[in-house]
Structures are given as C-alpha cells and as structure tokens.
Amino acid sequence: MADDRSSKRPRTTSGASEESASGDESETHALRSEVARLREQLLRSDAEVARLRQQLQRLQGGHEALPVVVLASSVDLSRLDTSLATHIVSFLGTSLELRNLALTCKAFGWQQPATGLDLSLAEEVARQVVCSGRNDIEGARITLSPYVRGTTTWLSILRESEDPLKFDTLLGRGIEHINERGTSVRTCGTVTAVASNYVMKSGIHYAEFQITDGFPRIGIVRPMPNLDLGRPIVNVNFFFSSLCDDFLAARTVEWGNGNVHACEYDCVDGGTRWISWDSPFPRWELWDGRDGCDAGDAVGMLLNLNEGTLAVYNNSRRLGVMKDGLLGSYCWCASSVGDRESALTIEKCDPPLA
C-alpha cells in the first residue's frame, strides 16, 4: 500500500525548474542566431558602401574641376536712348519715386547736356507728367507754381499737383502758415485764409479741416484771382460791408448768377452765415443738425455743385446740409474774428461713406 501511495505523489518543484531552463536555452539560441544573421548583413552592407565609394573616387579622379567665373554686369546708362529712358522712367509716376531715383543714380538725376536736354531725366519726366494733366481733379481748376530755373523744380511742381489743396492766399495782419506746404495756418485777429489756387467749378468736392486750436469759421467764397484791396488792411473778412465793392470788382464769369458769394460755418455753435455782396448785409441761418465743434475735431465740408448744397461733417459724422441754392464756382476758406487765436489744417480726402 505504501508503494502505491508513493507512485501517485505529484511532480516535485525541481522537475518544473528543469523544463523552464530548457525553454530559456532555446530562446537564447534563437536570439544568438538572429544577431549573427544581422552581423553578416551589416558586413555585406559595409562592403557595398566601400565598393561604391571607390567607384565614386575613380569617377571624380577622371574629371578636372571647372572654375566658376562670375561676370560683373553693368549698364552704361549714358548710352541709352534718351526718349527710351524717359519713357521707362515715366512708369514711376510719383514725385517721391522720381526723387529717390534722381538721388540714387546720377544718370537720371544730373543734367544731361550731351543728350540735348536742359533738364535731368527725372526732371524731364516730372515736367511731362505735370503737363499731361495726369493729376488733374475733375470739376476743379488747379493753379500750380510756375517753373523757375534754380528756384522751383519740376519735381516740386509734380509734388504740388499730387496734393494741391492749400491756403495760398492770406488776407489781413496776424495770420501765418505753420508748415512748409501751406496747408496749416494760425490766426489771431480778424483775418482770412483762402485756397484760391483750387477753384471748384462743378461736381462734388470734399475737404476736411483739422482744428488744432480755437474756434475758426470755415466755408466757401467766390474765386477772386484779381483781388486788389489797394491798401494795407489789418482786418479782412468777407462779411465786412466796407469791402464788398472791392470783392465785386474782382468778379469773374465763373461766379455765374448765384447770389451766395460767401458762406461759412461757425465752430462755436454750428450756425451758418452767408452774404451777397450786391446787398452787403450778412444773414444768419439755423439748419437741422447744426452742432458746434472743439479743438481736436475734424470738420468736413461736402460741396455738391450738382445739387447746389454744402453739407457739414463732424469727425466723419454727417450733421446735415447747412446751405442750398449754390450756383457758380467757389474756393475753400477759413477765418477768425476778434482777438481769439485759432489754428487749423486743410486736407483733401474722400467723403465719409455714411
């Protein structure tokens, strides 16, 4: 009975360990075989790389390296046909571009007597652009500065034609330009500034007046290219009855038959004042939407000569039409009254969309 029980005992732990060791040996052998195979593959790859390297060296050794030569390119602009050069440069168009070209290249910036031109190529192109009327403004007559050799260049005239709106006429004592272009003025006393070189004859025109100090009056007046007050006058205002005969003496056919000779917006309260010099009594009017403005505001004026109206904007916000029944041509103007100082800048720009 004892022998039977001993034969039925379960397998001991030592037997299980022997089977596990046998499995590990098999796995180790397989890994060693894989490593050996990869080593052989690597050796073959190294041999192939060495063979290709030798082949490349033989190919390179059979050819001499060719030198790289860089030729310096240059163009003798003095040999370029003048008319062709002028035509090419004309595509630049703006005064700033032409000025930069003239400063960069002496062939364009210096006078070329050998070509028969009294001007440099840049100046000649500027002259052609000005004379072509490329920068003309529809419905307006612009008077530009005349060309004067040694004083006024064609480039400066071209620059003026690109942005012609400025206060070129100052009337009275106590008014002065405060920038080189003449677009900004400072006033003290009863004085007036007029953009007389910019005559609006038809169509729609918009200008913006940036107020930097005080409470100026802004509006329109008849063009008077031949105005001659005949005497030094300290105080000049288009609403002085004592000066109406002087203003009427400067009448031109451009005035037409309209009776509104001057009209202005008062920045203090937004009121409108206008006058006919044929019956020299200023008239004040109130209009829907009127409002005053302060220093720092931008007052916009929209003159619609198709409809005969003058509308006012304050910081791009439309206030309304302050005057209608306008006929004939006008210029922009600004004035001050009394001892109050004021300053403003005029600028031509597109009217607000709303």
pLDDT in tens, 147-192: 888 788 888 999 999 999 999 999 999 999 999 999 999 999 999 9
Q: Is the pTM of this model over 0.85?
A: no
Q: Give all strands of the β-sheet with 191-194 in edge-to-edge order.
A: 169-171, 191-194, 331-336, 217-221, 262-266, 272-275, 283-285
The mean pLDDT of the chain is 83
What's the CA gap between 29 and 26, in Å, rounded?
Answer: 5
- Mean pLDDT to the nearest integer, 269-275: 95
Q: Tens digit of pLDDT for each residue in 70-100?
A: 555 555 555 555 565 556 555 666 777 777 7
What's the CA gap between 348 and 163, in Å, rounded?
Answer: 8
Name all domains of the chain by residue range, CATH numbers in brackets.
78-162 (no CATH), 169-348 (2.60.120.920)
Q: What is the pLDDT of residue 15?
A: 52
Confidence of residue 27 (pLDDT cuts 50, 70, 90): confident
Q: What is the pLDDT of residue 6?
A: 43
What is the gyration radius of the CA atoms in the chain, in angstroms? 44
Q: What is the pLDDT of residue 149?
A: 81
Q: Are 222 and 246 in contact (CB under 8 A)?
A: no
Q: What is the pLDDT of residue 121?
A: 77
Q: Given a cut of 90, is residue 66 above it in pLDDT? A: no
- Mean pLDDT to the nearest integer, 302-317: 97
